[in-house]
């Protein structure tokens, strides 16, 4: 049973969005090709879904600016621009993504006191989203992960998939993903590899 996890392919992370990832929109046609390839039995997508005034927003911390390090619930927290606020266009999946073919779309980041990069659980590793149980319940043996952003939500989703679903083979599809900074991308890929996540491209995903 093969599954594809599309992480946060939302307007907010594409050019024109509130937290644009360079070339973020370039993943959309690749994600659509993966969706249409017929290689996956199950396709799931995550959506960053913050309440207005979320604690990861610099605007919630007087004197803080986006991309500075701050503190949230006593822990170091990157201060982000306001992004992916529930119910806004910024939070919607990219309009060209073939969302009708997605079996499950799950929202994360709703608790204003903790950020949630991973589609599986929050950054405190406290509250789970239920995605691991869902995928295991469906009998998933292989999970391919891609989307936005490589250095944050894709990275932590792939690492949690490995840790929370022992025995499931996890691969990261590099060309179907984009990240915020070059250093962050390099570090994320290194860390995923180190943990045993295979790094592939979409051509391999569609042929293998
Ligand atoms: C993300 C920063 C803040 C992501 C979400 O989807 O990678 N990054 N919220
Ligand atoms: Zn966010």
Q: What's the pTM value of the predicted model, to 2 decimals?
A: 0.98
In order of start, what are the domains of the chain with their CATH numbers? 2-50+86-207 (3.40.50.850)
Task: Report whether pLDDT(14) > 80.
Answer: yes
Could you confirm whether 75 is annotated as catalytic?
A: no
pLDDT at residue 82 in the model: 98
CB of 79 closer than 8 Å to CB of 63: no
Cα distance between residue 187 and residue 190, in whole Å: 5
Q: Which two tokens stand for residue 71?
A: 């503190």
Cα 53 to ligand 1 centre (Å)? 16
Confidence of residue 208 (pLDDT cuts 50, 70, 90): low
Average of per-residue pLDDT across 75-90:
98
206: nearest Cα among 30, 5, 65, 12: 30
Percent of the chain whose pLDDT exceeds 70: 100
pLDDT, residue 16, reads 98
Question: Which ligand sits closest to the CA of 78?
Answer: 1
Give residue-wise pLDDT tens across range 124-182. Answer: 999 999 999 999 999 999 999 999 999 999 999 999 999 999 999 999 999 999 999 99
Ligand 1 binding pocket mutation candidate from 10, 14, 19, 46 (most atoms within 8 A of CB) = 19
A 10 A CB-CB count for 52 gives 13
The rounded mean pLDDT for the chain is 97
Ligand 1 atom closest to Cα of 80?
Answer: 3
């Amino acid at each position: 049973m093969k599954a594809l996890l599309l992480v946060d392919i939302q307007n907010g992370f594409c050019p024109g969005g509130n937290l644009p990832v360079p070339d973020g929109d370039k993943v959309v046609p690749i994600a659509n090709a993966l969706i249409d390839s017929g290689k996956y039995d199950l396709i799931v997508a995550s959506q960053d879904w913050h309440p207005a005034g979320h604690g990861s927003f610099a605007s919630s911390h007087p004197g803080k600016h986006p991309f500075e390090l701050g503190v949230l619930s006593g822990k170091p927290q990157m201060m982000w621009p306001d992004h992916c606020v529930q119910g806004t266009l910024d939070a919607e999946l990219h309009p060209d993504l073939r969302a009708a073919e997605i079996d499950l779309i799950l929202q994360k980041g709703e608790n204003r006191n903790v950020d949630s990069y991973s589609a599986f659980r929050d950054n405190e590793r406290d509250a789970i989203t239920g995605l691991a149980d869902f995928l295991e319940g469906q009998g998933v043996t292989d999970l391919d992960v891609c989307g936005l952003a490589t250095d944050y939500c894709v990275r932590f989703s792939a690492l949690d998939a490995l840790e929370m679903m022992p025995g499931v083979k996890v691969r990261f599809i590099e060309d179907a993903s984009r990240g915020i900074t070059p250093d962050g991308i390099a570090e994320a890929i290194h860390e995923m590899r180190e943990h045993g996540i295979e790094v592939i491209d979409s051509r391999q995903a569609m042929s293998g």
